[in-house]
Amino acid sequence: MVNVAILGFGTVGSGVAEVLAGHESSIARKADGLIKLKYIVDVRDFPDSPFQDCFVKDFAIVENDPDVDIVVETIGGVGVALEFTRRALEAGKSVVTSNKELVATHGYELNLLAKEKGVCYLFEASVGGGIPIIRPLSQCLAANEILEIHGILNGTTNYILTRMVRAGLPFDTALREAQKRGYAERDPSADVDGHDACRKICILADIAFGRHVSPEQVPTEGIRSVTLADMNYAEGAGKKIRLLGRAIRLDDGRVCAYVAPHLIDQSDPLAGVEDVFNAISVRGDAIGDVMFYGRGAGKLPTASAVVADVMDVARNLGHRKALLWEEGGPDTVGGAEEIRSRWYVRAASGADALKNAVGGKLLAGRGTGGEAALITDAAMTRGELDKKLSGVEALSVIRVLN
């Protein structure tokens, strides 16, 4: 029998307890033994919870109980979650988490610590909710040199973009709708400003390219500046606007990662990804392009990914190898400003001025006044584009994916 403690009884933590309880027999069969929920650590009281016997308020009880094999960290953030994760690993317990912020910022050192202690630190649920991506990337695609990963990594922004284009809502209205439906927080910044997607592309880059990429090394742009006018022009050009996290192996060996809205072609499988769904596209030298699609968040999808990690640890107790990557640094990460692509530009300076400045095909659309938009013919860096745009009153500049 393997004993589990859950830290934090919020949405994901309570989902983990539910999935463990609801699938007890099938989990035991697949994990070659019973997995028992022994503790739930939370400072709050939950008098109506069916897991009454499990609640404790003091993490030290878990830390000091040699019968606890696996700690599930669903606290979130990098404060107490980091402290408890370190202490759990130090105490020789494997840790499973859905905490993308902690993995993105401290995953490198926590993995090293886990290896040192002969235990595991697993985080399948930290990217894409329940969508299998960490294990496929690290195991199934292990024989590939990964060339690029990009994806729709944040369901909230994808919902907002979908509602804007489908219902003709401006950004603010679509955001309020997302908040009402529980898809966006009252302070929506982590989602709409791209920070959540940034953490996730860091984790994917760590695994795919084998060296640590820190969120502060990743230029991050959200969707606040995307307008209905941009969406109309994009539609007219057979394209959709999606917020992508993107990580690329550069020819010089560096890893380049960034988060920004992109125009993508209707024929791209990512274009059909709507509402709160996520999708991640991976390009390997042998496999070509593969894509993973599903619900990127939500209580039960995320919890099911956490429990799958718990089962993996339980099944291979003492044997499972850590997911390791190397330290990063300023020399190994960067180069987003060198990535060339075609660009969508909307400008107030009139069609001729815009076309003469950057060259490209003007788009049909509902611009007002002297407004015009185009997609450049030539691929260029953002710096090269900005030089050409020096005399143009640009209103929107969005990268076109390949």
Assess 291 for contact with its own copies (CB under 8 A).
Answer: yes
CB 346 within 8 A of CB 230: yes
Is residue 312 near its own copies by the rule CB under 8 A? yes
Concerning whether 200 is annotated as a catalytic residue, the answer is: yes
Minimum distance from residue 133 beta carbon to its own copies (Å): 8
Choosing from 6, 27, 392, 401, the residue that interacts with its own copies (CB under 8 A) is 27
Residue 287 within binding range of its own copies, rule CB under 8 A: yes
Binders of its own copies in range 258-277 (CB under 8 A): 267, 269, 272-273
What distances in angstroms separate CA 6 from CA 69, 99, 312, one per listed residue? 11, 13, 16
Whose Cβ is closer to its own copies: residue 133's or residue 394's? 133
Instruction: Find the shortest distance in angstroms from Cβ 344 to its own copies.
Output: 22
From residue 190 to residue 229, what is the string marking binding to its own copies with x (rule CB under 8 A)?
A: --------------------x-------------------
By C-beta, is 131 or 394 nearer to its own copies?
Answer: 131
Within 8 A by CB and 6+ apart from 96, the residues are: 70, 71, 72, 73, 120, 121, 122, 123, 125, 306, 309, 310, 313
d(CA 123, CA 323): 10
77 binds its own copies (CB under 8 A): no
Distance CA 32, CA 25 (A): 10
167 binds its own copies (CB under 8 A): no
Q: Does 26 bind its own copies (CB under 8 A)?
A: yes
Considering only residues 55-74, where is the footprint of its own copies by CB under 8 A?
none
Question: Which listed residue (115, 224, 315, 388) binds its own copies by CB under 8 A?
Answer: 315
Residue 108 makes contact with its own copies by CB under 8 A = no
Query: Which of 130, 151, 194, 367: binder of its own copies (CB under 8 A)?
Result: 130
Measured from the CB atom, the residue of 6 and 336 that comes closer to its own copies is: 6
Whichever of 49 and 144 has its CB closer to its own copies, that residue is: 144
List 91, 115, 144, 176, residue binding its own copies (CB under 8 A): 144
Spot the catalytic one: 100, 200, 239, 240: 200
Beta carbon nearer to its own copies, 44 or 319? 319
Q: Count Cβ atoms within 10 A of the Cβ of residue 148 and give its class: 0-12 exposed, 13-18 middle, 19 or more buried.
A: middle
Taking CB under 8 A as the binding criterion, the range among 30-38, 155-163, 171-179, 340-348 that sits at the site for its own copies is 30-38
Choose the stretch contacting its own copies; rule: CB under 8 A; options: 90-98, 128-136, 180-188, 386-394: 128-136
Minimum gap (Å) between residue 315 Cβ and its own copies: 6
Binder among 1, 10, 21, 32 for its own copies (CB under 8 A): 32
Q: Is 135 in the site for its own copies (CB under 8 A)?
A: yes
Under the binding rule (CB under 8 A), the answer on residue 289 touching its own copies is: yes
Binding of its own copies by 86 (CB under 8 A)? no
> Of the listed pieces 75-83, 164-172, 292-300, 365-373, which binds its own copies according to CB under 8 A?
292-300
Taking CB under 8 A as the rule, does residue 300 contact its own copies?
yes
Three-state secondary structure of the chain:
CEEEEEECCCHHHHHHHHHHHHCHHHHHHHCCCCEEEEEEECCCCCCCCCCHHHEECCHHHHHCCCCEEEEEECCCCCCHHHHHHHHHHHCCCEEEECCHHHHHHHHHHHHHHHHHHCCCEECHHHCCCCCCCHHHHHHHCCCCCEEEEEEECCHHHHHHHHHHHHHCCCHHHHHHHHHHCCCCCCCCHHHHCCHHHHHHHHHHHHHHHCECCCHHHCCECCCCCCCHHHHHHHHHCCEEEEEEEEEEECCCCCEEEEEEEEEEECCCHHHHCCCCEEEEEEEECCCEEEEEEEECCCHHHHHHHHHHHHHHHHHCCCCCCCCCCECCCCCCECCHHHCCECEEEEECCCHHHHHHHHCEEECCCCCCCCCEEEEECCCECHHHHHHHCCCCCEEEEEEECC
- Interface contacts to its own copies, rule CB under 8 A: 19, 23, 26-27, 29-32, 124, 130-132, 135-136, 139-145, 210, 267, 269, 272-273, 284-295, 298, 300-301, 303-308, 310-312, 315-316, 319, 321
Residues with active-site annotation: 200
